[in-house]
Chains A and B, each alone.
With several copies, the nearest count.
Chain A
Amino acid sequence: MRSLDQLFEHSSRALARRTSRRSLLAGLGQILTGSALLPLLPIDRAGRAQAAEPKPKSQTAGPESCEYWKYCAIDGFLCSCCGGTSASCPPGTTPSPITWIGTCQNPGDGRDYIVSYNDCCGKTSCGNCDCNRNEREKPMYRPSRNNDLNWCMANADSNYHCSVSVILGVSEK
């Protein structure tokens, strides 16, 4: 487990570093055309620029709600409803060492955070708190941003149970 965790930390942080600059540039390019502004949010989120009717977001949604800010690109079951938390896997499951990446704005401080989405693996579908959010999510030809893939694919037990979101850091401005 420890070596898997280290692998995860290494690979997804490296990816986050590469990703954040591109996201930042996209964000800056689009900020002045933003129409999806949220209360108390000083900057628009990259990619939301052309949103006509963004889904309602709640600043108070907790980690057992799909509306929780960290979950902006989870399409799956929330581990926080399955015996885990927003960033930890349920007992008896195994985290995926590989992952997809999201950029989510925290309404609490207005910052964009780079988030790693990991799947928890080795048990059958949790089936609780189905959540389908796809902000900046991309099709499979950009796998680092794709949530359709079963990211348990490289685990010894590659069955998908649920998904967590793990803060990697603030998206650099």
Chain B
Amino acid sequence: MRSASLLVAAALNIGMHARAAELPPPLPAEHMKVEALAAAGPHWVYVFDEAFFNETDARVHLFDGDTYRRLGQIDAGFTPGFNLSPDGKTTVVATTYFARGSRGTRTDVVEFTDNATLATTREIVLPPKRAMTLPTLFNVTYSDDGRLVYVAYVTPAASFGVLDPAAGTVLGEIDTAGCVMVIPSGPNRVSSLCESGRVLTVTLDAGGHESSRAMSEPFFDADKDPVFMQGVKIEGGFAFLSFLGEVHEVDFSGAAPAFSPAWSLVSATEKGHWRPGGSQVGAVHRGLHRMYVSMHVGGEGSHKDGGTEIWVFDMTTHRRLARWPVGTMGTMGNLGTVLAVQVSQDGAPILFAATDKSDVVVLDALTGRVRHIEKRLGQTPWMMLNP
């Protein structure tokens, strides 16, 4: 062995001299720098990882659905909420830190990250009341005009904080009488969902304080068929899907929320069997008026089960356009079940589907064709946002 190696080494040593003249010039020295982000693309998506098994270490991954590259990361602390500003230029994270990592003095804070640099540019310290819960669109949100930020509080008494992001200050706290979370509703209104199935809407004055409040009629029944807290952004407001597959579209653009008649994702024979489920059950392409829903077969209590199929609906006709079974997508084996869906808003849309295997599947949103599977985009990717 050793003598054979000697011979080979000697032969190659000679070869080295023979080849010396052919060698290209040496590679130049490199100069380390910090990578700059390109201009935001329509297929960029912010993938939230709760990091449930190491829950003080949640983060948001910025991922490119065209190049399949991770573009960067925004750290997010413990049980955070997060959202994007209306212009898409800022990520807002509402989170909690402990002075000794997992314990010690609690600091609740809202952090603002410049999406062009992924640097945190500002923080606003909150009272220690932030709703520590799974992410939805309504844990923390901007007002429609981007001038205020609202943060849901649960202590477990429910209220919310009103923040001025430009000034970096907390303007105040408004009690919501048991109704929860912050749904933006025009430039100066905040709506919350109530156990009664009603919507509480608080109107703010110029200083961010309450000027009036109003309670809507009930639009769902929390006993018979509760709606997911998650909400799906639609034109002018949000759609709330129910555990049994009813779609409640709510227009939040006016002075009071306006409810469209509910329509169903499921036929009479499917009802109670096929259900929406997961951690972000639906997404809407607002230009194409298409809704994508993660669907599974299950009973009561299965509302967090991942989808075995993605169903596609026309929001205008309420007709189902397609069923895309996850199990037979592509040729890459068992993809698991779908916990979260998001769709890009451009004319050649991409559907993102995060699975219970922690992968993010990239699909053509028009055909359902699988383009890519990004393996383990975090531990527990439970929500995805794009502007």
Contact = CB atoms under 8 A, between A and B. Distances in A.
Interface residues of B, number: 90
Interface string B191-216: 00111000000000000000000000
Given A53-B299, A127-B378, A140-B181, A37 B12 contact: yes
Contact of A48 (B194, B227, B299): B299
B75 A98 contact: no
Interface string B170-197: 0000000001110000000000011100
Contact of A140 (B118, B154, B298): B154
Contact of B300 (A120, A135, A157, A166): A135
B194 A139 contact: no
Contacts of B302: 51, 55, 134
Contacts, number: 272
Interface of B: 1-2, 5-6, 8-10, 12-13, 15-16, 19, 23-24, 26-37, 52-57, 59, 62, 69-75, 78-79, 96, 98, 101-104, 106, 113, 117-120, 131-134, 154-156, 158, 179-181, 193-195, 222-223, 226-229, 244, 271-274, 297-304, 376, 378
Interface residues of A, number: 90
B298 A53 contact: yes
A65 interface: no
Interface of A: 1, 5, 8-9, 22, 26, 31-37, 41-44, 47-55, 72-73, 75, 81-85, 87-95, 98, 106, 108-111, 113, 116, 118, 120, 122-128, 130, 132-143, 148-150, 152-154, 157-161, 164, 166-170
A170 B103 contact: no
Contacts of A149: 131-133, 154, 156
Contacts of A141: 179-180, 193-195, 222, 226, 229
Contacts of A157: 98, 102-104
A122 B53 CA distance: 15
Given A89-B33, A166-B32, A137 B297 contact: no
Contacts of B194: 141
